[in-house]
Chains A and B, each alone.
Chain A
Amino acid sequence: MNAREKILARIRNTQNPAAVATAQTIASHLAKHPRGPLPPQPNNLLACFKERALKLSSDILETNNINDVPALVAKYLNERKLPIRGVCWPALATLRWNDAGLEIQSHPALPLHNPLPQAGEEANELLRKFNDNDLVGITGAFCAIAETGTLMMLSGADTPATTSLLPETHIAAIDPKRIVATMEDAWDLLRSENKQPPRAVNFISGPSRTADIEQTVTLGAHGPYRVLLILVPINE
């Protein structure tokens, strides 16, 4: 018997037969994936999201026009004397970053203008090194969660996980219509729009932090030092 069989055999030999669920119960649990106790539905999802996100040290800006985003980003970075060079997801690459005085490149690059080597190790190497020198990463988000002020990011070819991870400043554009109440609602949205979870679902709640030294909270551990959330209607 290999380790797998031995471990499973030990479990089966000693498990309490009275407590073992029927195949029907298990199938129904998987099919219905019932929710546990939930917090009360907030009256105003947007207000709740903003309150929670601010508590977790995210910064928030709002605008009604997606075309205003580059100017907001430029103002935010300049006020803090931060570098103006960075990368954005391809979906945001058409915004007029240059006009706002920013040097923002698409990550990954738009295939038409700047074709990359075939996907694979070589492309990865290029992007990783390229990205690590960039101090601003601008992304969208799959949705946002009001209960905890959290972003939900799905990894993918046009939504790389590294853009929100390697730079010192992470900026995310979120459509207020994509704010849901709870993580359970976010899973339902994922189930309705994607068949299965992508390689990585990352929930982000503010800048990276550590309290390992003397239990003192310090922002900016291995991930971003700051997270700016821009609430803006986005037309698909």
Chain B
Amino acid sequence: MQNTSLQFKKQVTIKLADVRLQDALSRLQSRFVGGRAAVISEIHDLEETRIAAAAIRDHALNNLDYWLQHFEQQATARGAIVHWAETGDDVNRIVTEIAALHNVKTAAKSKSMVSEECGLNDALEEAGVAVMETDLGEYILQLAHEAPSHIVAPVVHKNKEEIADLFAEKHHTPRKTDIAELCREAREILRPAFLNADMGISGANFLIAETGSALIVTNEGNGRLVTTLPRVHVAITGIEKVVPTLEDVTTLLRLLPRSATGQSITNYVSVLTGTKKPEDHDGPEHFHIILLDNGRSSLIGGDMQEMLRCIRCGACMNHCPVYQNIGGHAYGWVYPGPMGSILTPVLGGIENSPDLPNASTLCGACAVVCPVKIPLPDLLRKLREKQMQLGMKSRQETFMLKAWAWLALHPRLYAKATAIGVRMLKLIGGNKKLIHTLPGAGGWTDGRDFPAPAGKTFRELYQQGKHK
């Protein structure tokens, strides 16, 4: 997928003015924020479980070479074929080759964010393979030629009226607005796609080294269908998704659905190991697993390694006041929200996404809800430091910061300057105590008023208090 995060600021302005998007985003909060809050307390000792989960991910990442090879060995012993891909283009080439090898004409696909990184669908279509997205959200997006705006709920930006129009137009059926009827229509249209597909394509939420298995969580059942019915199954995932044992993955599973959708467990958890046996009546005859790097290995051993703990629950974006207001598309690549504001620049080059590390108030909500305790605000701050070191900040920002730093090193002058400053701001604020335009901070006051200070600095008030 093309990274368009250079246009972040422009996109934000558009998204903030998009009434339908704002309506859709307001629903996200009640369902996901409220949903998580309702079930996360089911976990007996949440903090202990989060610490254990982070430790499992850290151990896997600290020994990533070992666990990947162990996984490969076990998966191969059970009849799967493991491929390694440096880039998204390599994934596309490998999948296209697999399709050609097995004479694949049609593919049914369940949701995979890693395949979005690669732009796999376009590559397969070019190679003459018809691809059908089968996750309801992804199917809607495929019909609308749009990209997902959320890693768990990809079509969160659309309301049912838009989907009703889309189905009526593309399916040539009477327009339906009942959500259950829309779902039924999609089921009936997609069922033959599952039954007739030559190849199933899925992601993998985890790889289990102990057994050489790929684990997939789904609610709709499409993940089970695409990994059971077609004669070829291709699972594509990032190299960081490996965990050592079944017990390790079980600890992570207590956190993943609760953090993602507020479910104690997803309807289906499938642990897939190897190919069908001769006596089996279902299951793929060929099972290919593609491990994508795409920049991930460059994080190992560095100050961003903690980001690779991520289990893609989406809790950070659900709880992020920035995401809640602008949605996912503004971020410009596959991964939005706080995790995306880190992953996009570190995987795609910080120079291509200069605004993303700054698209956060550092309020800390994301770090509080992250099931694997990724210090997201710290990582964002590290990226900002890197930008400063690389001279990527604007002249104005650099000048302001330098001026402030100089002033802060001269305490008496600082006291005088701030004392004058707050009095002036109080005057500008007037009776309403609100400032509508502030020279040099127009970006801030264009969208809202700046509350005027009380007219005295902290140090003045402190001195007053001491004499009482």
Q: Please report A residues at the B interface, Cβ cutoff 8 Å.
A: 2-4, 6-8, 10-12, 14-16, 19-21, 26, 29-30, 33-40, 52, 55-56, 108, 119-121, 123-124, 127-129, 132, 148, 150, 155-157, 160-162, 165, 182-184, 187, 196-216, 218, 220-224
Taken together as a complex, chains A and B put the C-alpha atoms of A168 and B231 apart, in Å, by 23
User: Do A8 and B65 form a contact, CB below 8 Å, given A36-B49, A160-B282?
Assistant: yes
B365 contacts the other chain (CB 8 A): no
Interface string of B118-132 (1 = CB under 8 A from A): 000000000000000
Q: Are B282 and A128 in contact (CB under 8 A)?
A: yes
Q: Are B247 and A202 in contact (CB under 8 A)?
A: no
CB distance from B292 to the nearest CB of A (A): 9
Considering only CB atoms, which chain A residue lies closest to B210 in the complex? A30
Which 6 interchain pairs have the tightest Cβ spacing?
Answer: A223-B221, A36-B251, A221-B220, A14-B301, A212-B137, A215-B31
Residue B90 contacts which of A3, A10, A207, A216 (CB distance < 8 angstroms)? Answer: A3
Interface string of B137-162 (1 = CB under 8 A from A): 10010000000000001111001100
Q: Are B179 and A216 in contact (CB under 8 A)?
A: yes
Interface string of B26-43 (1 = CB under 8 A from A): 011011100000000001
Q: Are B250 and A184 in contact (CB under 8 A)?
A: yes
B-chain residues with CB within 8 Å of residue A223 when the two chains form the complex = 220-221, 224-225, 267-268
CB distance from A6 to the nearest CB of B (A): 6
Q: Are A108 and B281 in contact (CB under 8 A)?
A: yes
A-chain residues with CB within 8 Å of residue B274 when the two chains form the complex = 199
Taken together as a complex, chains A and B put the C-alpha atoms of A37 and B27 apart, in Å, by 33
Taken together as a complex, chains A and B put the C-alpha atoms of A66 and B123 apart, in Å, by 53
A-B contact pairs, 22 of them (CB 8 A): A3-B85, A8-B69, A10-B300, A11-B64, A12-B65, A14-B300, A20-B62, A21-B66, A36-B56, A38-B44, A56-B267, A128-B282, A148-B264, A150-B269, A157-B279, A197-B273, A203-B269, A208-B267, A214-B24, A214-B159, A215-B153, A218-B183
Give the number of chain B interface residues (Cβ < 8 Å): 102
Q: Are A212 and B224 in contact (CB under 8 A)?
A: no
- Count, A-B residue pairs, CB within 8 A: 268
Q: Are A39 and B43 in contact (CB under 8 A)?
A: yes
Considering only CB atoms, which chain A residue lies closest to B208 in the complex? A197
Taken together as a complex, chains A and B put the C-alpha atoms of A199 and B282 apart, in Å, by 10
User: Do A128 and B229 form a contact, CB below 8 Å, given A36-B250, A210-B136, A213-B136?
Assistant: yes
Q: Are B253 and A208 in contact (CB under 8 A)?
A: no
B277 contacts the other chain (CB 8 A): yes
Q: Are B163 and A213 in contact (CB under 8 A)?
A: yes
B-chain residues with CB within 8 Å of residue A182 when the two chains form the complex = 250
Taken together as a complex, chains A and B put the C-alpha atoms of A215 and B86 apart, in Å, by 36
Q: Are A215 and B228 in contact (CB under 8 A)?
A: no
B-chain residues with CB within 8 Å of residue A52 when the two chains form the complex = 264
Q: Are B281 and A160 in contact (CB under 8 A)?
A: yes
Considering only CB atoms, which chain B residue lies closest to A109 in the complex? B281
Q: Are B280 and A199 in contact (CB under 8 A)?
A: yes
Residue B44 contacts which of A6, A37, A129, A210 (CB distance < 8 angstroms)? Answer: A37
CB distance from B188 to the nearest CB of A (A): 10
A-chain residues with CB within 8 Å of residue B267 when the two chains form the complex = 56, 204-209, 223
Q: Are B302 and A36 in contact (CB under 8 A)?
A: no
Among the stretches B238-246, B321-329, B451-459, the one at the interface with A is B238-246
Q: Are A222 and B43 in contact (CB under 8 A)?
A: no
B341 contacts the other chain (CB 8 A): no
Taken together as a complex, chains A and B put the C-alpha atoms of A215 and B282 apart, in Å, by 33
CB distance from B19 to the nearest CB of A (A): 16
Q: Are A215 and B27 in contact (CB under 8 A)?
A: yes
B445 contacts the other chain (CB 8 A): no
CB distance from B307 to the nearest CB of A (A): 14
B397 contacts the other chain (CB 8 A): no
B-chain residues with CB within 8 Å of residue A212 when the two chains form the complex = 135-137, 140, 153-155, 220
Q: Are A161 and B224 in contact (CB under 8 A)?
A: yes
Within 8 A of A (CB), among B149-188: 153-156, 159-160, 163, 179-180, 182-184, 187
A-chain residues with CB within 8 Å of residue B270 when the two chains form the complex = 200-203
Taken together as a complex, chains A and B put the C-alpha atoms of A205 and B219 apart, in Å, by 9
B283 contacts the other chain (CB 8 A): yes
B293 contacts the other chain (CB 8 A): yes
Within 8 A of A (CB), among B254-276: 254, 261, 264-276
User: Do A222 and B187 form a contact, CB below 8 Å, given A7-B86, A20-B62, A196-B211?
Assistant: yes
CB distance from A73 to the nearest CB of B (A): 22
Residue B48 contacts which of A6, A19, A37 (CB distance < 8 angstroms)? Answer: A37
B-chain residues with CB within 8 Å of residue A12 when the two chains form the complex = 65
A-chain residues with CB within 8 Å of residue B411 when the two chains form the complex = none
B450 contacts the other chain (CB 8 A): no
User: Do A205 and B266 form a contact, CB below 8 Å, given A127-B282, A197-B271, A222-B134?
Assistant: yes
Taken together as a complex, chains A and B put the C-alpha atoms of A200 and B233 apart, in Å, by 13
B213 contacts the other chain (CB 8 A): yes
Taken together as a complex, chains A and B put the C-alpha atoms of A11 and B62 apart, in Å, by 9
A-chain residues with CB within 8 Å of residue B66 when the two chains form the complex = 21, 26
